[in-house]
Copies of this chain bind each other. A is one copy, B any other.
Amino acid sequence: MNDFKKSYLKKYKHIRRKIEENFINLHPIQAGGRIPNDPDVLETIIDYIDGYSTCDFCLTGRLNEIGTPPICDLHSDLAKFCDMDEVRLVPGCRQAQFSAIHALAEPGDTIIVDSLAHYTTYLSAERAGLKIVEIPNSGKPDYSIEYDSLNDLISEVKQNTKKPPKLIFLTHIGYNYGNLNDAKKTSKIAHDYDIPFLLNGAYSIGRMPVSGKNLGADIMTASLHKSFASPAPSGLLLANEPHAGTIFKNSKITGNWSDRSFNNKEIEILGCTLPGVITMGVMAAFPYVVERVKYWDKEVKKARFFSKELENLGGLYQMGQKPHNHDIMKFESPVLYEISKKHPRKGFFLYEELKDKKIWGVQPGITKSLKLSTYGQSLENLKYIIEVFSDLINS
């Protein structure tokens, strides 16, 4: 029923964000996805904002073969950047995960995943009708993946299902504790059993240097709106042969009456899956990302500084790897929880106090723990944040 009044529709007009302009933003899912602070990037995006804007010069019916704008080049450069054979731009890392899992396994099959994987890994497996077996982790405080259990898990799957697991899936950087998991160790075990190894680089590719081949990845997935300074939804599905051939298989369906067929379209990405402005945002961000990953060691150094200084305040304990290897960090914060119990604003005091001090990104209402990212922050900002926490705790 299209009887919307103009006055009612006003709520969809003049909507502005202004978080990045007005706050120091520590939100862990937002830190790596800020587009470059470069007017040229914005101009490219605005120029390609209309629907199928990338298809002006499409000659073959495939996004990854378009020459103008250089989307074909972008694909080969992205593959090179990640050191993998093949890549496709897809609408998000979750779509990449599902495509790979769906292509490599049949309903009823079992795959092995690390127990700190993102929820989209579980959902991708569930959607594909698979069973999952988790690699345990050591729990608090380190949350280390127990790689040594992998051999036993593979044997158990073989015993219980009469076939090996179809895939071993490792999250490169855990979304919760920011641990850098050991891809090389995992891929070695996977390959000892001839099982394909998928590395989810949602929080690594675009932040830090990642060579898929060096790490032994057969398949990789990336989240560009999480870690590649790109608008959402954007992701990468990367694969090496022979798995690339399976994952990027062309359509074979034929219309029973019409005899129509679509042999140049890839099934798992449903043809061209990321046309338009998002691909152009990735393209415009690429030179910037190529440059920024070179300075990853500085980001790690800042994260370690921040962790140490925050812990020095007392009552704040960084979980996960120490020294830390990533900008995503989770702290247990009993000292803040104690304050919240006596504070008139209860659990919301932290969010509100930080907001007041122009610091953004902690979950409202939560004080028992603190999850944040230091990515892209200046040392000056980090010092200011530590000062704010110090005041909060000591006042």
Residues of A within 8 A of B (CB): 1-2, 4, 6, 9-20, 27, 29-30, 32-35, 40, 42-56, 59, 69-70, 73-74, 77, 80-81, 83, 91-92, 94-95, 98, 102, 107, 115, 119-120, 122-127, 132-137, 209, 211, 225-226, 229-233, 251-253, 255-258, 260, 262, 265, 267-268, 270-271, 273-278, 280-281, 283-284, 286-287, 290, 293-294, 360, 364
- With a cutoff of 8 Å between Cβ atoms, the chain B residues found around residue A270 in the complex are 92, 94-95, 98, 120, 123-124, 127
A-B contact pairs, 30 of them (CB 8 A): A1-B80, A2-B81, A2-B290, A2-B294, A4-B81, A4-B287, A13-B287, A15-B44, A16-B47, A17-B47, A17-B48, A19-B56, A29-B51, A35-B49, A35-B51, A42-B49, A46-B46, A51-B229, A95-B270, A119-B271, A120-B270, A122-B251, A123-B267, A123-B271, A134-B255, A136-B257, A231-B278, A232-B277, A277-B277, A278-B278
- With a cutoff of 8 Å between Cβ atoms, the chain B residues found around residue A19 in the complex are 53, 56
- Asked if A255 and B2 make an inter-chain contact with CB atoms under 8 angstroms apart, the answer reads no
- With a cutoff of 8 Å between Cβ atoms, the chain B residues found around residue A230 in the complex are 51
- With a cutoff of 8 Å between Cβ atoms, the chain B residues found around residue A229 in the complex are 51
Instruction: A273 to B40: give the CA distance in the assembly, Å.
Output: 28
Shortest distance between the CB of A134 and any CB in chain B (Å): 4
Copies of this chain held together in the complex: 2
- With a cutoff of 8 Å between Cβ atoms, the chain B residues found around residue A53 in the complex are 17, 19, 30, 232
Q: Given A17-B56, A44-B15, A123-B253, does the pair A50, B231 have CB atoms closer than 8 Å? A: yes
Instruction: A34 to B19: give the CA distance in the assembly, Å.
Output: 28
Q: Given A119-B262, A271-B120, does the pair A51, B30 have CB atoms closer than 8 Å? A: yes
- Asked if A290 and B253 make an inter-chain contact with CB atoms under 8 angstroms apart, the answer reads no
The contact of A30 among B16, B46, B50, B70, by CB within 8 Å, is B50
Q: Given A127-B267, A127-B268, A270-B95, does the pair A51, B34 have CB atoms closer than 8 Å? A: yes
Q: Which 3 A-B pairs have the closest CB atoms?
A: A33-B51, A232-B276, A91-B91
Instruction: A30 to B81: give the CA distance in the assembly, Å.
Output: 32
- With a cutoff of 8 Å between Cβ atoms, the chain B residues found around residue A56 in the complex are 17, 19, 27, 360
**CB closest chain-B residue, reference A98:** B270
- With a cutoff of 8 Å between Cβ atoms, the chain B residues found around residue A120 in the complex are 270-271
Shortest distance between the CB of A77 and any CB in chain B (Å): 7
